[in-house]
Homo-oligomer: A and B are copies of this chain.
């Protein structure tokens, strides 16, 4: 049994609930998201999809990623340069995006807890639980 196959089906069920349809292209993209590394760009994901399904177009991947983001299945992280990257939203966590090398470090959601509370209490601003992202320099890129 392919690991995560049930997750793919669960997500597709959710897509159907929202009036969407379970198509081969979607199944492949979800499998790719599950199996490969996190934080890949739409283009990288499309390349991986195309390895198994050559005629799935980049625009289809964008369309699907956009929907999955709406459904809360994937997160989109936009660093200060370059394309946005996508990954499965398996748990609430934040991102430390290195402005030097572009690497993304995931940190548990609690690290952002104090900030989220202060933003809510002080400004009525509700921090999105899946879109934390702050810039800086990672351990390997200190001057």
Contacts and interface: CB of A to CB of B under 8 A. Distances in A.
Contacts of A118: 107, 111
A47 B56 CA distance: 41
A74 to B, nearest CB: 13
A132 B131 contact: no
In terms of DSSP, what is the predominant structure of the interface of chain A? Answer: mixed
Q: How many monomers of this protein are in the complex?
A: 2
Interface stretch (A4-12, A27-35, A119-127): A119-127
A78 B76 contact: no
A128 B99 contact: yes
Interface of A: 76, 78-80, 96, 98-99, 105, 107, 111-112, 114-115, 118-119, 122-128, 131-139, 142
